Amino acid sequence: MPNEIIEREYDADTPFEDNFISLKLIIDGQGIIFADKPELVLEQLVSIIGLIVKQSQNLPRPENTIARSDKMHLWPVGEDDEIVQIATSKISETIKENLDTVKLALEVYNDYLFILKEEERIDQLIKADSKTFGREKFQAEIDMYEETISKIRNEMPFEIRMNMFLVQCKDINTQLCDKCEELITKILNRIGDFVFHELSSQISGNVKQIKDDLASKANTSELLVGFEAKLEEVKNSEKKRLMEEYNDLIAWLMLLNDNPRFKIQEDQMKPVVQAFVWVDEIVGIV
């Protein structure tokens, strides 16, 4: 049914339905509902009949414009009149049938309800131990939300015409896309903190520790042996590990740089530059 609704909206040969009532969709928690409850819409529309009946009271008889008559007004019709009751029942039934049909418009968004439940999952992802972070995992999340945004913008209708009701979809489409954008921004901001604060500081700290160890004086043969062993360790393993950490830092940085949503500020680059200086010094030493 949802696919049929969308196909009909985009079919140029399908004639427009005659609509006189516009309904909007809104986000409600983890679901999508009508801004005006269908039950309330039914009640308000049916109430118009009572207003018409009241307005029909004390209507002047048309012949009084020609000649005076003992009966100045048309025969009054009350809300409990059989004709009024039959008309009310029929109109109410027709509106209800149309409202039951228009509720199917909500099913068009079934594939996108997951967006409204994603914030908690993404919060858990970005608040996890950074040792578990992986670029592929984060990039996959970003790609998924970007694809969802593109699908909503390209495939979802701006409006759905269903019998007497016109369902406005433009605003709900925008809200769903905004939710995806917010989730992407959360991920990018966390990556930014990880790159500019954690990784950069970790590399700089590791290099500083190595420099301090190598700068200590060997006053005894035992310390000299220890110094030479530390130097060999730096040459054989520490240097490689530092280069791998720095290359990993640059790969994370490129992930940020490749996404136009994240604007890297000059001040943010200072820890990265400092990390490069420290690593370069170690490479030069050994």
Output the DSSP codes for 33-73: EESS-HHHHHHHHHHHHHHHHHHTTTPBPGGGGTS--S--B
Q: Distance (Å, rounded) from C-alpha 275 to C-alpha 199? A: 9
pLDDT single digits (tens) 129-180: 988 899 999 999 999 999 999 999 999 999 988 878 999 999 999 999 999 9
| 126-159: burial string, b at 16+ Cβ within 10 Å, e else | beeeeeebeeeebeebbeebeebbeebeeebbee
List Cα–Cα distances, 108 to 49, 167, 253, in angstroms: 33, 11, 39
Residue 123's pLDDT band (cuts 50, 70, 90): very high
17-46: buried (b, 16+ CB within 10 Å) or exposed (e) per residue? Answer: eebebebebebeeeebebeeebeebbeebe
Task: Give the per-residue pLDDT at 264.
Answer: 85
Task: Work out the percent of the chain whose per-residue pLDDT is above 70.
Answer: 71
| Angle formed at CA 113 by CA 109 and CA 118, multiple of 5 degrees | 150
Q: Indicate the burial class of 274 (C-beta count within 10 angstroms; 0-12, 13-18, 19 or more).
A: middle
SS3 per-residue string spanning 192-232: HHHHHHHHHHHHHHHHHHHHHHHHCCCCCHHHHHHHHHHHH
Pairing of strands 165-168, 21-28: parallel
Rounded average pLDDT over 234-257: 79
Taking 60 as the threshold, does the pLDDT of residue 34 lie above it? yes
The pTM of the full predicted model, rounded to 2 decimals, is 0.76
Residues contacting residue 10 through CB under 8 Å, at least 6 positions apart: 157
Range name among 25-29, 127-131, 177-181, 272-276 with the lowest pLDDT average: 272-276
Query: Could you tell me how many residues make up the chain?
Result: 286
**Tokens found for residue 239:** 């240097």
DSSP, collapsed to helix, strand or coil, labels residue 85 as helix
Q: What is the phi/psi pair of residue 22, to 5°?
A: -105, 130
Q: Report yes or no: 23 and 166 within 8 Å, Cβ to Cβ.
A: yes
Q: Return the pLDDT at 18.
A: 62
Residue 217 has pLDDT above 60, yes or no: no
The answer on pLDDT for 186 being more than 90 is yes
- Average the pLDDT over 74-78 and give the result: 67
Mean pLDDT of 71-79: 67
CA distance 209 to 108: 59
Q: How confident is the model at residue 224 (pLDDT cuts 50, 70, 90)?
A: very low
